[in-house]
Structure 1
Amino acid sequence: MNFSAWSIRNPVAPLLAFFLFLLLGYQSFNALPITRFPNIDVPLVSVTVAQSGAAPVEMETQITKEIEDAVAGITGVKNVTSSVTDGLSTTAVEFQMEVPTEQAVQDVKDAVDQIRGDLPGDIEAPIVTRIDVEGGAILTYAVQAPNLTMEEISWFVDDTVTRSLQGRPGIGRVTRIGGADREIRVELDPVKLDSYGVIAQQVSEQIAATNTNLGAGKISLGTGEQA
């Protein structure tokens, strides 16, 4: 039986089925749960190794390269990336989506343990942890202004950009990465400290004890209030 020919001769039944499926699809779409940060299980594992006083070149050749070679042979590894700074090596291992995160973490731990004897003896114990991508940044933008200083750019992002984006529909959080944070620098005079019999630690403790934020309350101005 030719279904197409039958549908042309009897259009009522196909139209009713079409609208029925359309209604069911609309109801199913509205019933889908929506969360700001959905629970996404992405198998990402981080390996962090610290060695006090080691230069980046030494970290790369003696530690990072060894770890990359060890984890590259694990089944299901998709990508391996590393970053090296003074005294710190961080390697991120990305697995295929079908690999369970717990298994990925355990496989990386086993691989690092096997080469532990090949790493320098004065390093701190390697830290193998899962990289949690839930709640991470969805979009990242870079801000550049040749005519502004680093402090001015940071203040512009905090005072103008962040305030403009916060509260917009669909935006949960805005965070600045990098730049400069406002701070007060206290320079001590060793001669005066010695004359008063005070050490630098006492000054630091006194500043920490008096550096508190207290609410000033609110005042009424006409028909409104100001905090």
Structure 2
Amino acid sequence: MNVSAWAIKNPIPAVLAFVMLTFLGVMAFKDMKIQMFPDIDLPMVTVAASLPGASPDQMETEVARKIENALASAQGLKHLYAQVKEGSVIVSAEFRLERDSRLALEDVRSAMARLRGDLPREMLDPVVNKVEISGKPILTYTLAAPNMSEEALSWYVDNHISKLLLGVKGVGAVNRVGGVTRQIRVEIDPLKLLALNVSAAEISTQVRQIQQEAPGGRAALGGMEQAVRTVATVKSAEQLGQMEISLKDGRRVRLDQLATVSDAVAERRSAALHDGLPVVGFEVVRSLGAGDVEVARGVTQALDKLKKERPEYTVERVFNSVDAVYETFRGSMDLLLEGALLAVIVVIF
């Protein structure tokens, strides 16, 4: 049967079929995300472990090799890479492409949970992350306010702007750039330690044991059950200085009698400059599957609302990769429309 002849004799079904296909194509096209490159879900997982002050040899023998041995039996594992530095190690596990990335991530997390007891006790818990190809920032802003310190601006970014933008659909992460991080600093007097026959490690252990919250189960009070927990965290340097330290002879002294406790900032490991001046900024990273243009539009609306509510803050955009993506998209659409129009003209005439 000749389909062309049948369509000419019965034009209504053919026209309806093309109208339906065109409608479905337009609806599907509107749901497509505008991105410079498509999202690639690679089955690769990284394990980052930190032990401040440890040498590279110690990190290799006590941490890196144990992590590699724990991951060596993971299903679908292809390669293992280890990067060892002073006080830190990063182990990357590359799985075969047919391996589901979520299952690979769960396997690595389970292996790290089983291995935690064999790692050094003083080491921080390993951080397990899945490698995201779309993890690059698409927008970068700077924050400024008169009569506000760098520490106050850093706190505002970490505790307010980050929470605000993470509520925007499609935002995967908000990273602060520059600024400082608050740190309670304890500077121990070695002469006082020698006089009291106590070591810095013993003081550090006692402070760590006291500075923690622990569940205490449930208790019946007045015919009602209530949750019980131990609250021992302090909120200021003064409270930390008032903590009592137990000595070997049974005496107890306050921490501020052995050391100088101050509310300071952590050591700077990075800095952000804009026009040669130090600034506090933040980067916006879209989540996997989200579109650059849609995320940028939502972030802009959220920041515009913030500017109206808090006019004392000045938020300036200093980097934007979305405009280039949108210009490329518009250029592709123009070429598509021109090609379709020329095809219609050629067919008709």
Q: Structure 2 length normalisation: TM-score?
A: 0.32
Q: Structure 1 length normalisation: TM-score?
A: 0.44
More strand by share: 2
Q: Which has the higher contact order (CA 8 A, sep 6+)?
A: 2
